[in-house]
Chain A
Amino acid sequence: MIMKLLTIKNLNSGYGDIKVIKNVSLEINTGEIVSIVGANGAGKTTLLKTISGVIPAESGEIVFDGKRIEHLPPHMITDLGIIQVPEGRRIFPMFTVYENLLIGSVLPRTIKERKNNLERVFELLPRLAERKTQVGSTLSGGEQQMLAIGRALMGMPRILMLDEPSLGLSPKLVSTVFEIISKINSQGITVVLVEQNVKQALKLSQRAYVLENGMIALEGSAEKIINDPQVKKAYLGL
């Protein structure tokens, strides 16, 4: 049975007078990987930030697990298990790898499980175990991305939202990151993937939404989107 985990209805948001997200509606089902793709400035990051509560929603509904959440502050949304890996990784530069992981589990809900989660993260991302005492700002781009993902996992996500995880990484590392995302999903965590790397994101996902100028231009199964002539032309260069 398909269960709706996150439902967004007629969402509008933006920065002051600038409307970025216009009347967006979408659904995320439990256990899926859903991609949100689109060009630069289409509103993908703004959409994630609105879901996370960093940017307030102007109107519309965000329903998570049957509860309205669009009015909640970001830390309470995180506490519900909606966890974002922000664009540009945003690891804490002065913290060691270990401290960065600890700060990912500061909520009472996660602090109890900290030890188990640390083991799980180090098993999935052995590189982090090697770099445990290294300061965040000295890590390479790929390591920083692993750390950002590991830190998010410490928060025990029910939905993991990744904002451009492949940005600035070498093609080989991009594949590694996508493999990790696939592994995380296979552990039962729902994944929302925002990407400009459309081809690889669509390959990994079951469904996708194409965002254009803050509106949903196209939605459906990843297969359908990847074969859409317009998408092919605009995003895949085929």
Chain B
Amino acid sequence: MDSLSVIVNGISMGAIYGLIALGLTLIFGIMKIINFAHGALLMLSMMCSYWTWKYTGINPYLLIIMIAPVMFVIGYSTERFFIKPVLDAQKDVREPIAVLLLTAAFAIVLENLSLMLFGADYVMAKTTVTDATIAFGGVTLSAARFYALIIALVISGGFYLFLQYTELGRKLRSCGQDRNTASLMGIDVPKTFAIAFGIGTALLAVAAITLLPFYYVHPTVGNVFMTKAFIVVVLGGLGSVPGALLGGIIIGLIESIGAQYMTATLTTVIVYAIFLLILFIKPSGLFGSRLEW
């Protein structure tokens, strides 16, 4: 592969990491909860997308309009019926550890349910996009990865604008800064939390669909992305939206360029080494600030 397509591939994969991390950083930024079920919810989105594609044959990219609302409802209900009661019970606790354990348990349940229902096979949606390529002035790119990059950039940018300039975005950000004062403004904080969790989960549906044409789906696929999403979020600065995208692209580039010169294992070592180095220089992450929202 020539160097330009290596870079574009790295950016494309990185943008998907960023997209996955976006939901994690949103849920953390607003609710101050680390959602350990994020990877499992990505897996669920991929499974839903895969099986819907398999039985209907609809173009995977069109599936976004179907799967994203479904995942929103799943995320919203998860918050409303499972997380909220625990959060309420730990209202006066500074670091609600029970919520953290709950999301971890939820991840295990989802993974094993998926194993039971779909089996442990690796499956992939071999669509017309899978093997297609796009030529750009002498550079040949995988079409699926190119579309993934475009979708990830558009969704991340749109999400940022949504948070900055809409009524709901402003409500979400105010809850992230000071939930008690937000409630004094007339904002229904528990409902806003459920919406945040729903949006974070719906963003996973988008990521799942961009991955579908070129990535294998299996019950533990979430773990691969979960670890990376954590690195990306911490690297970019917990709670930061531009940080998530930039952090994702950095990791994607390191992996893609590294893979040209060394084994995959060594690439991973380099990813962690650079991650530690950046944290050593800037412990709050690239865009990190205590008051991000």
Contacts and interface: CB of A to CB of B under 8 A. Distances in A.
B186 A75 contact: yes
A110 to B, nearest CB: 8
Given A16-B92, A137-B291, A106 B183 contact: no
B186 A78 contact: yes
Contacts, number: 69
Given A15-B92, A16-B92, A94-B292, A83 B184 contact: yes
Nearest to A135: B291
B181 A86 contact: yes
A103 B170 CA distance: 7
Interface residues of A, number: 29
B221 to A, nearest CB: 35
B178 A92 contact: yes
A73 B183 contact: yes
B9 interface: no
A106 B186 contact: yes
Contacts of B293: 94
A79 B182 CA distance: 13
B173 A75 contact: no
B184 A86 contact: yes
A74 B174 contact: no
Interface string B89-111: 00010000000000000000000
Interface in A28-81: 52-54, 73-75, 78-79
B183 A74 contact: yes
A99 B170 contact: yes
A110 B178 CA distance: 21
Given A15-B92, A94-B293, A103 B185 contact: yes
Interface in B150-189: 167, 170-171, 173-174, 177-178, 180-189
A75 B291 contact: no
A39 B179 CA distance: 28
A108 B127 CA distance: 47
Interface in A103-134: 103-104, 106-107, 110-111
A79 B185 CA distance: 9
A104 B178 contact: no
Interface of A: 15-16, 52-54, 73-75, 78-79, 83-84, 86, 90, 92-95, 99, 102-104, 106-107, 110-111, 137, 151, 155
12 contacts: A54-B184, A74-B183, A75-B188, A78-B184, A90-B178, A90-B180, A90-B181, A92-B177, A92-B181, A95-B177, A103-B187, A155-B185
Interface of B: 92, 167, 170-171, 173-174, 177-178, 180-189, 291-293
